[in-house]
Structure formats: structure tokens, C-alpha cells
Amino acid sequence: MTTKAWWAGIAITLALSGCDKATTSPQPAASGSAPAASVPASAAASSSAAPAASAQAVSPANAKGFSGEYTAKKATVEPPEKVKDVTWKRDTGEKMIGPGKLSFQVAEGLVKGEASGAFGDQLVSGTFDGKELKFTLLPKDAKQADAMTGTGVGEVGASGITGTLRCSGNDGVVVREATFELKGK
């Protein structure tokens, strides 16, 4: 793989992760605030309504780790109007699709873990502030022909974290996205 192709793949991944209009901007944390204050009202309400069930369930905002699955599909790439590049039309969408797994630990707001499946074997690293999860996916073997690099963003909901992954291959032609759902452990 050439350096130019590698940079093209990174640029596409970054561009795709920045193009999601539904993604919210990170909000600065209030000084002196603790992650436990980030528990959604719905999680607090459900824990008071059913004490026995909540003793077994892990609050997504306070979990020490997460695991779950993703489902990958071909992403739509729409270059700017004046760009006539048709690189992405070469992708038939037949490879690097389907299920995958994510698993990671959280320590002091830092995320470390692994992913496997449609995007290949990857290392996960990022941040979690009790409300929002942001991470990168890097291939365990970057020299592998189908190695995928990408980003993920997720938000805490009542039962876990849901979000979106965006990855591209080494040559920037194969561009994929996936939805994921994670449960606290």
C-alpha cells in the first residue's frame, strides 16, 4: 500500500465521520462535575420504579465496559457537486458487509478494546463521558488487503449505547457504515 492510498483512506474516513448532520457537537463538561451526574433521567426513574431489576442491570452511564454487535452495509458517498471522481462506483458492495462485534473497557473516561467481524479484526480506542461515546477503529494488521479504518459515535439511551460506525478500506474505494448497540457490563 502506498502512502498516498493510506492518506486517501484516512481522509475519506474523516470526511465521512464529519458529514453526519445528526451527530451532536461535544459539550464541555462543567468544572467539578462527576460522570455519575450524567445519568439520564429515564435511567434514574427506572431504577426507582423497579429496585430489584435495577440491582441486576448496569447503568450505561456508570458501566466499566460495554459489548455488543454491529451490522455493516455499503455507505453512500456523495462528493461535492463539482467533483467528477467516480472512484466509489467501483465498489460493488459485496464485501465487508454483515455482522460484527465490539467489546471494550472504560477506565477514567478512556476506552480500550477490540472489534471483529465484517470490518476485520480491529483495535478500539476512544473516550466515554457517561453520555457520549467516541472511538476510532484501527486494523490489528494494517497490511492486510481488506484492512478497514474508521470512527464510531454513540449516545447513552435507556438500555445501553446506540450509534454509528464509519469505515473505509486502505484504498478509499470501499466505504462502509454500520449501526451498533452496546450493553453495559
Supply the pTM of this predicted model: 0.65
Tell me which of 55 and 105 has the higher pLDDT: 105
What is the rounded distance in angstroms from the CA atom of residue 111 to the CA atom of residue 126? 5
Phi, then psi, of 170 in degrees rounded to 5: -60, -35
Structure confidence by residue, pLDDT tens digits, 89-141: 778 878 889 999 999 999 999 999 999 999 999 999 999 999 999 999 999 99
Within a 10 A sphere around the Cβ of 47, how many other Cβ atoms? 15
SS3 154: strand
Domain ranges within the chain, ordered by starting residue: 3-22+63-184
Are 183 and 67 spatial neighbours (Cβ–Cβ below 8 Å)?
yes
Whether the per-residue pLDDT at 19 is higher than 60: the answer is no
Residue among 77, 78, 70 at smallest CA distance from 96? 70
Pairing of strands 110-117, 122-128: antiparallel
Identify the weakest region by mean pLDDT among 22-31, 82-91, 145-154, 172-181. 22-31
Structure confidence by residue, pLDDT tens digits, 61-76: 677 889 999 999 998 8
**Assigned CATH class of 3-22+63-184:** mainly beta
Question: Residue 33 has what pLDDT?
Answer: 40
Tell me which of 67 and 170 has the higher pLDDT: 67
User: Rounded to whole angstroms, what are the CA distances from 59 to 31, 108, 137, 184?
Assistant: 23, 16, 25, 7
